[in-house]
Amino acid sequence: MKEYWKLWSMNKHHYLLVRLAIAILFVGFAFWLFVSRSSEFPTGLESPLGGKEQMAVPPPKLSIEIPENEDQMPLDVVVEKCDLLTGDWIPNPLGPIYTNESCSLIESHQNCMKNGRPDSGYLHWMWKPRDCKLPQFDAKKFLEMMRNKKWALIGDSISRNHVQSLLCMLSRVEQAVEVYHDEEYRSKRWYFPSYNLTVSNIWSPFLVKAAIFEDFNGVSTSEVELHLDKLDKTWTDVYQSVDYMIISTGKWFLKAAIYHENDTVVGCHICPGKNITQVGFVFAYSKALHSVMDFIAKSGHKGLIFFRTSTPDHFENGEWHSGGTCPKTTPVKEGEIEMKVIHKLLHDIELAEFEKAAEKAAKNGVNLNLLDFTNLLLVRPDGHPGPYREFHPFAKNKTAKVQNDCLHWCLPGPLDYWNNVIMEKVING
């Protein structure tokens, strides 16, 4: 019995070894078959859920390009378009980045502190967009970006006001050298030697051809002769040579004028005693601005062109020549002040003509942008020189009646924040 049990145990052991060997051979054969046919398998197999299960292989390196059409962008790419011009003025304890003492380029009529303005609270506000951040103006970065470029600010005295602000902010890095002025010192050009940057202020208050008969204080001896269909060569002759420009007009169209088209008188604005049809400034502004915008849209210009809307004034109890003043010393809240009807008419024409031109410009590859600073400045009635357009106007008589300027802007002042917005638009579009 013991011998039989021993023999059975040995046979069982051999039997298990044989089965194990057969199993190993079968697994080896299956693995060889899988490997030999793996090159024929697709890289992705349909899963029961309708997706694809990827093979465990290293992914290839991909070069990802974001499509130009926003509608085709991947869902995980966030595109933020900031409205820099909808915001609020908030307290700024640090004040402006330059002073009337650090910048020698401020024109006397806008040098409010030197002229004796007693309050300084208007200097301590900053513009803050509601939806995003507006970086501080970086003079060094701006100058580096504008190396070997040409800028031009084209328009009336508000453009001259603006160019002084820009030059003062850039003067923190390098002082501009004046290299040109016209006979009346209304058009000027400055140069930054270290950067080969040219900044020009081109006097063209109507942007169209005009014969003007008034002195520096705005007193006219005759109506302006205005050609609504002929552009002013002062700016069009240099237009193609400028890389960046800011073009504006507006207030001058409120002046008494006789209008011409095709060298024929077609009407007037404020021309009593003349046998000419009164057609009004709205007619003239629409026509002239259409001529300007059409020229830009068809120009093929390869730089960057900004059209800036006209700015509001804040005369109270009168106007420029009728005793108007602007006594406020702090900003007002949105909704506490309304745009004057005349300003709204100008603004509506500007937006309408820009809108028509922008579509045409885009088709022609012209980079035309809007700078609508109207609402930004509407709530800053405190930012004007007022009586301090002249040096210490009440030094001899504290009750003297003096000319108030509630149209232009003190420097430093609210106008400086235009440059923050412009720089951000230049960088990010």
Residue 77 pLDDT? 36
Residue 192 pLDDT? 98
The CATH number of domain 77-428, selected from 3.40.190.10, 3.40.1260.10, 3.40.50.1110, 3.30.310.50: 3.40.50.1110
333 in Cβ contact with 325 (< 8 Å): no
Q: What is the CA radius of gyration of the chain?
A: 36
Percent of the chain with pLDDT strictly greater than 70: 80
Residue that the structure tokens 């059209």 belong to: 307
pLDDT in tens, 28-79: 544 444 444 443 333 333 333 333 333 333 333 333 333 333 333 333 333 4
Residues β-bridged to residue 114: none
- When pLDDT is averaged across residues 268-289 and rounded to a whole number, the result is 96
pLDDT in tens, 385-424: 999 999 999 999 988 999 999 999 999 999 999 999 999 9
pLDDT in tens, 130-147: 988 999 999 999 999 999
Residue 24 pLDDT? 52
Residue 35's alpha-carbon distances to 39, 378, 403, in angstroms, are 8, 77, 96
Q: Where are the domains of the chain?
A: 77-428
Residue 80 pLDDT? 54
Which sequence positions are flagged as catalytic?
Answer: 157, 405, 408
**Mean of the per-residue pLDDT values of the chain:** 85
Residue that the structure tokens 């939806």 belong to: 131
Peptide linkage before 205 cis (omega within 30 of 0): no
Residue 221 pLDDT? 81
pLDDT greater than 50 at residue 3? no
- When pLDDT is averaged across residues 271-299 and rounded to a whole number, the result is 96
Residue 220 pLDDT? 72
pLDDT in tens, 311-365: 999 999 999 889 999 999 999 998 899 999 999 999 999 999 999 999 999 999 9
Pick the range with the lowest mean pLDDT from 2-16, 84-98, 202-216, 273-287: 2-16
- According to DSSP, the β-strands at 52-54 and 44-46 are antiparallel
- When pLDDT is averaged across residues 300-310 and rounded to a whole number, the result is 97
Percent of the chain with pLDDT strictly greater than 90: 74
Residue 28 pLDDT? 52
Residue 384 pLDDT? 98
pTM for the model: 0.80
Q: Name 1's Cβ contacts closer than 8 Å, sequence gap at least 6.
A: none
pLDDT greater than 70 at residue 95? yes
Residue 321 pLDDT? 85
Residue 214 pLDDT? 81
Residue 215 pLDDT? 75
Residue 75 pLDDT? 35
- When pLDDT is averaged across residues 87-112 and rounded to a whole number, the result is 95
